[in-house]
Amino acid sequence: MTDCLSCIVRNRAICASLRPDELLLLGRMGRRQRVSSGHTLLWEGDDAPVVANVLEGVLKLVAATADGREQIVGIVFPSDFIGRPFGKESPYSVSAISAAELCIFHRDQFDEFAADHPDLQQKLLRRTLGELDRARRWMLLLGRKSASEKVASFLLEMADRLSPPPGAADTARGFELPFGRQQIADILGLTIETTSRQLTKMRADGLIDLPSRRKIVINDLAALNEMAG
């Protein structure tokens, strides 16, 4: 692919710091790939031969115990980076929650390119530290928060990642979830009944509206923040 300058996540992805000539070089190494919902791009513990920028869609990061129990340990959105640069094995599986489009690079080629471009390495470092902070918040959410705090925290995170930008036709506090309530429950370590009950109570209390099964509108951001702890 050679159209990096017109990429829809150009200004938010890790390659945003590159000059046009550098983008051209990087673009020649990459290829676009569409994946369907449920497709697994990387498997936990296996060699991770590729890295990728997410252009469209949502993916999940999944870790498993020895007896096969799985836990979603992260959600990946457009402009996020996935894979293990300067590494080998993937510490988790990466699977598409929705249909997605990726800009994929062979890891070895990407590593060589990054080694010659310090700005890109700095961007990778900042992205990695941000993911570490998010992982620590996730540990708190899963380990210590109540069901209502978990759901409220989840909605705030989704609003931050999925709400339309300022000036868009939709409200800045409204967003469409790319997955259903069962997947929300799986992400939060709750049952679907508990998840649905919490969403219904939040709607009854006026904190949110639920125009459809996946549409969320936050009516009282302050109250939701307070509930999230």
Whole-number pLDDT of residue 162: 81
Whole-number pLDDT of residue 59: 93
Whole-number pLDDT of residue 166: 53
> Which H, E and C letters describe the chain, residue by residue?
CCCHHHCCCCCCCHHHHCCHHHHHHHHHHCEEEEECCCCEEECCCCECCEEEEEEECCEEEEEECCCCCEEEEEEECCCCEECCCCCCECCCEEEECCCEEEEEEEHHHHHHHHHCCHHHHHHHHHHHHHHHHHHHHHHHHHHHCCHHHHHHHHHHHHHHHHCCCCCCCCCCCEEECCCCHHHHHHHHCCCHHHHHHHHHHHHHCCCEECCCCCEEEECCHHHHHHHHC
Whole-number pLDDT of residue 50: 93
* pLDDT averaged per 10 residues, the chain (length 229): 74 83 87 93 92 92 85 87 87 92 94 89 82 76 85 90 59 77 87 95 95 92 91
Whole-number pLDDT of residue 134: 76
- CA-wise closest residue to 131 among 64, 79, 65, 175: 79
Whole-number pLDDT of residue 168: 47
Whole-number pLDDT of residue 87: 83
Q: What residue type is assigned to position 122 of the chain? A: Q
- The pTM score is 0.78
Whole-number pLDDT of residue 215: 92
